[in-house]
Amino acid sequence: MKVTEALTRRKATRAFLSKAVEVEKIKRILNAAKHAPSGANTQPWQVAVVMGDKKHLLEQRIENAFRSGVKAKMDYQYYPCEWQEPYKERRKATGVQLYPALGIVREDKEKRLDQWAANYRAFDAPAMLFFFMDPIMQKGSFLDYGTFLQSIMLTAVEEGLATCPQAALGEYPQIVKDTLGYPDESILICGIALGYEDTKAEVNSYRTPREGVDTFTRFFE
């Protein structure tokens, strides 16, 4: 498979088959992704692969906290504190595509709440990956982590698997750390849902648009 093919085939998948993901496949994905570049070869990534009973326990704890009104708070600020254009409109457009694909109307607040709660179950994918980093690392390591996460998602495509990168899985870091035994001071970056795509699910049928190269690129000679 060409890199360009994996890039264009990768998408955020939100419905998965119950089929378990083979551990050997996950190991192959991580073994390939470890070659991602990092400043001074620091390799800041620490990965927790969560499946089975442990996944059920963890997602239950997170969802219970969410439904009980516990406020989400990531270890760092992911999104802007105040949305501005063009990012505000792009964010809105994503929701305009997502909810109709789920058959959820704007007025149905209960179903919207349930859909958001599905984030904390990694959309019922059989595996979810959590990514941690030591607190001594700085902004440059966040850049390095991006290359690592993309490498995981592209290699997953090659392995016939689907993914969904999720900031939401980093919204209750203390619960994740307590359940998995990671130090309180560690930084939880995000999570990724991993499994086999349910190709019959309508929510997996749409693709978010991308801006043309000319809109974000300037050439200088």
* In contact, 169 and 122? CB cutoff 8 Å: yes
- Predicted local confidence at residue 83, as pLDDT: 95
For residue 165, list its beta bridge partners: 192
The packing angle between helices 139-158 and 23-33, to 10°, is 130
Identify the CA nearest to 155 among candidates 15, 16, 26: 26
CA distance 135 to 119: 26
Q: Which stretches of the chain drop beneath a pLDDT of 50?
A: none
Model confidence pTM above 0.85:
yes
Q: How far is residue 47 from each of residues 18, 25, 68, measured CA to CA in Å?
A: 22, 15, 28
Q: Are 46 and 186 in contact (CB under 8 A)?
A: yes
Cβ atoms of 126 and 21 within 8 Å: the answer is yes
The pLDDT tens digits of the residues spanning 184-221 come to 999 999 999 999 999 999 999 989 999 999 999 999 99
CATH of domain 3-206: 3.40.109.10
Nearest alpha-carbon partner for 156 in 44, 27, 56, 36: 27
Question: pLDDT tens digits for 66-86?
Answer: 999 999 999 999 999 999 999
Which one-letter DSSP state was computed for residue 118? Answer: H
Q: What is the rounded CA–CA span in Å between residue 33 and residue 15? A: 24
